[in-house]
Structure 1
Amino acid sequence: MFAAILLGLCWPSSKPTARPARAMSGSADEFACQVSAVTDGDTLRCADGARIRLHAVAAREKDESCSPGHPCPAASGAAATAQLRELAAGQRLQCLATGTSYNRVTAICHNESGLEINCAMVQSGTTVLWPRYNEQRPICDRS
């Protein structure tokens, strides 16, 4: 309980015009990520070294391939990477961990404007929704 109160006192508040991030309930699965690098269209790195994989989102690999059995967007990996940079580079994200994938935390993240990055990437057309993971924990949730 003390940790949740302390987290609430230290966590930055959303801008008044931003939609409040769903992830801000005091859960131990919530964390902040100061984005230091965008690795590709669905992965970024935080200043503390953590690697974040966007939950329920699939982008092409850097070599423009799609892994067997994975959803494959029509857009290029370069386009997805550029879009993720536009939405997240240099920002402090508020994230909710949903699991792990290849030594990365999978998460649903909101940028400083309150925009859900995962949903925005799919809506941009540069990535596609990964239904299997979206069923477990939906993105683009407007509740």
Structure 2
Amino acid sequence: MLILLFAAAIVPSGQTFECTPIRVWDGDGPIWCAEGPRIRVSGVAARETDGTCRPGHPCPDADPETAKSVLVDLVGVRTGTSREGHALVKGPTMHCISTGSAGGNRTGAWCVSPKSGDISCALVASGAAARWDRYWGNHRCRDQP
């Protein structure tokens, strides 16, 4: 399996794609996929790694390490930590729908994991992330893509 850690193309909005998670940065991503994309979980906001919330973003109560751990558990199993601070993960392939660019080299996406269902909805239900109405739109929680 080829793992792309440096190049990450943006998946066009509306396109479905698969993501086998290999790394997680914080509670709302990016999730690095073995297939190449880096996913910013759509419709939610989590605290930054330093514990702050960006101005204009919803701010959940969960601390950043808890939020990151919840996301890791939703997409797979933690296998270690990279020297950059990413949680290294091994998880089942998720099915995702792109919402387009999420800034930088990140693709915004709604993803469903065979392990935990709709990732955005599970993050909100857990309290690890806050629903971001500006980006949530008419999304409906689901178990299948």
Given the two structures, how large is their TM-score scaled by the length of structure 2? 0.73
Distance 1:54 1:88, change over 3 A: same
Structure 1 residues 68-115: Cα deviation after superposition (integer angstroms, max 9, x where no partner): 111111111111100000010322110010121122110000012461
- The answer to whether the 8 Å contact 2:74/2:115 transfers is no
Residue number among 38, 47, 69 corresponding to 2:34 in the alignment = 47
1:29-44 → structure 2 map (5 Å cutoff): 29-43=15-29, 44=31
Name the SS for the 2:128 alignment partner: coil
Q: CA RMSD in A?
A: 2.1
Alignment of 1:1-143 (within 5 A): 29-43=15-29, 44-89=31-76, 90-102=91-103, 103-113=105-115, 115-135=117-137, 137-140=138-141
Deviation string, structure 1 residues 28-73 (Cα, Å, up to 9, x no partner):
6100001011111011110133110010010001111111111111
CA distance in 2, matches of 1:28, 1:38: 23
Aligned residues between the structures: 116
Give unmatched runs, 5+ long, in structure 2: 1-12, 77-90
Distance 2:60 2:15 in 1: 29
SS in 2 for 1:98: strand
Take 1:117 and 1:59, find their aligned partners in 2: how far apart are those partners?
A: 13
Of residues 106-115 and 92-101 in structure 1, the stretch that sits farther from structure 2 once superposed is: 106-115
Shift of 1:139: 4.2
